[in-house]
Structure 1
Amino acid sequence: MSGLNANPDLFDVATERRSADDTAREVDPSVRDPLDELEVFEMIRGIKDPEHPHTLEQLRVVQRSLIRVDDARGRVYVNFTPTIPHCSMATLIGLSIRVQLLRLLPSRFKVDVNVTPGTHMNEKDVNKQLSDKERVAAALENENLLKMVNSCLQGIS
């Protein structure tokens, strides 16, 4: 059985966006802007699926309801839902989410990226890989893998 989902379901993208007032406050260096779930969602919603020309939001792999932010403790928790239970790209998708957040979030945040419980056959193995800092660092040293991650992140606004 292949890990490909040849004909994935597509969903409407959310219309909720940060307001202009929220955005203006974020650029004021004198104000510490608390991080929220919508802001994290906006950082990852446009990541491209490695197998399809669609975003993770369009495929409902990432959803705002699966993100939790504990700003006071500097923690961001993201669950993602592969399109099929045997998705061979789950680790790459999780790595792309992790890299995007590590690139965009202030360094005070620790990021936890996991497969949504019960949605993937190898959920524990994927989660173990994504939470291991040494494995993530080694993966990003692999030129081909880094190229695939950057391809998923290309064009995100």
Structure 2
Amino acid sequence: MEEKALEVYDVIRSIRDPEKPNTLEELDVVTEKCVEVRELGEDEYLIVIKFSPTVPHCSLATLIGLCLQVKLQRCLPFKHKLEIYISEGTHSTEEDINKQINDKERVAAAMENPNLREIVEQCVIEPDD
């Protein structure tokens, strides 16, 4: 499973922060330890990501979660279920945000918003593109 976790981490580490020029990896928002992969069945995996916003009142934590969702849905070559959470104790409204970023309808609705979609695209684009 460690190999899969590294594969997932490689996908998310280059996501850019919505406010800063840095990547989530450079800001320690995501680390190798924050990715957990469990086998669900043949060729299907559960991916759990726990990220840590840079500040406890980060207004962009939901947006970062959305970027993680979008990038992984697009880039992972294997079948998976995805759960994304804010690391416990690292955000003042972590419960609300966890519900939002794991709700398929809310994610879909957010991506229908042109302004939001544009921000997400800027964050998930590969530096070499």
Give me the TM-score of the superposition, normalised by structure 2. Answer: 0.90
Identity of aligned residues (%): 47
CA distance in 2, matches of 1:134, 1:149: 17
CA distance in 1, matches of 2:12, 2:74: 11
Greater fraction of residues in strand: 2
CA distance in 2, matches of 1:72, 1:139: 28
Aligned to 1:37: 5
Q: Say whether 1:124 aligns with 2:86.
A: no
Aligned to 1:70: 38
Q: Which amino acid aligns with 1:145?
A: L
Higher relative CO (Cα under 8 Å, sequence separation at least 6) belongs to: 2
Aligned to 1:136: 107
CA distance in 1, matches of 2:34, 2:78: 22
Aligned to 1:58: 26
CA contact (8 A) 1:76 1:109 kept: yes
Q: Which amino acid aligns with 1:141?
A: E
CA distance in 1, matches of 2:9, 2:36: 10
CA contact (8 A) 1:50 1:152 kept: yes
Moved over 3 A (4+): none
CA distance in 2, matches of 1:46, 1:106: 17
* Structure ID, larger Rg: 1
CA distance in 1, matches of 2:55, 2:87: 12
1:47 to 9, 12, 15: 15
Aligned to 2:85: 114
Question: Could you list the runs of 5+ residues in structure 2 that have no partner in the other structure?
Answer: none
CA contact (8 A) 1:79 1:116 kept: yes
Query: Secondary structure of the equivalent of 2:79?
Result: coil
CA distance in 1, matches of 2:118, 2:74: 15
Q: Residues 35 and 146 of structure 1: is their aligned pair in 2 closer, same or farther, counting only changes over 3 Å?
A: farther
Greater fraction of residues in helix: 2
CA distance in 2, matches of 1:71, 1:36: 10
Q: Residues 135 and 107 of structure 1: is their aligned pair in 2 closer, same or farther, counting only changes over 3 Å?
A: farther
